[in-house]
Amino acid sequence: MTDINNLLQIMTALRDPESGCPWDIEQTFETIAPYTLEEAYEVADAIQRNDMQELKGELGDLLFQVVFHASLAEEAGEFDFSGVVTAICDKMERRHPHVFADEKIASVAEQSRAWEQHKARERESQQSAVSGVALALPALVHAEKLQSRAARVGFDWPDISGPLVKCHEELSEIEEALEEGDQQQVADEIGDLLFAVVNLARFADVDAEAALKGSSERFVTRFQFIEQKLREQGLTTGDVDLERLEQLWVQAKMAENK
């Protein structure tokens, strides 16, 4: 088994000011961060496609991102890779007293509650219940985490009818903003509708991010169906009217259910 030190040595060589790679040498936390996000998404994509060989490679790419950030921090005199490992080990042991101490956990649900309680205690020093949610998260995930944090301190609807009514209310406000022609207000109201829909999804126990991704994938499949049907007739989408496109869209939906 290759030791993690091999990867750390490779990182050191890449960042060597005299003999390293020019690209790696000029990188900073800020320039590397987008690649870190990209690698995390590629890990998720490999999992969704159930491609284990691809997943192995993508996990390596993600691990390299962790090593890269730790190397930058070490150069700045902040912490090193060993400190990263120590921090996560300490956190896991602290949040799993039923494994590493004498606390007893009877079920998965009880473990989930205990996990959130541990995290809540760790956040007690923060000024707000909604502090600390990473801004770089996808917008839908970010909204859901904010709502969940607020719900833990009692700021929540009693049942799903609340967010459902809120969605209708926000849609009406979009219509009013469109009539008034205020573009900023339109943008604000559409944002409020999206936020309300995320809340509705949370109450319905639906992952809003996954739901939207599923809709996007269905759109691609249906649109490609339309393109294929038109190609068979020597046509493109620009050659037919909206009514014909709608007819083909309905056919595409019906084809999914066969």
Tens-level pLDDT at each residue, the chain (258 residues): 568 999 999 999 999 999 999 999 999 999 999 899 899 989 988 998 899 999 999 999 999 999 999 999 999 999 999 999 999 999 898 888 888 877 777 776 777 676 666 666 666 656 688 887 888 788 999 999 999 989 988 999 999 999 999 999 999 999 999 999 999 999 999 999 999 999 999 999 999 999 999 999 999 999 999 999 999 999 999 999 999 999 999 999 999 877
Asked if the structure places residue 91 within a domain, the reply is no
Q: Which domain holds residue 252?
A: 210-256
Residues 220, 226, 232, 234, CA torsion sign: negative
Distance of alpha carbon 187 from alpha carbon 194, whole angstroms: 11
Q: Among the three residues 171, 190, 206, which one is the final residue of a domain in this structure?
A: 206
Q: How many residues does the chain have?
A: 258
23 with 58, same domain: the answer is yes
Which residue reads 């205690």 in tokens? Answer: 121
Q: What is the pLDDT of residue 100?
A: 83
Q: What tokens does 146 get?
A: 């904010």
Does this model's pTM top 0.75? My answer is no
Distance of alpha carbon 117 from alpha carbon 108, whole angstroms: 14
Q: What is the pLDDT of residue 114?
A: 67
155 with 200, same domain: the answer is yes
The number of domains in the chain is 3
Asked if the structure places residue 234 within a domain, the reply is yes
Asked if the structure places residue 20 within a domain, the reply is yes
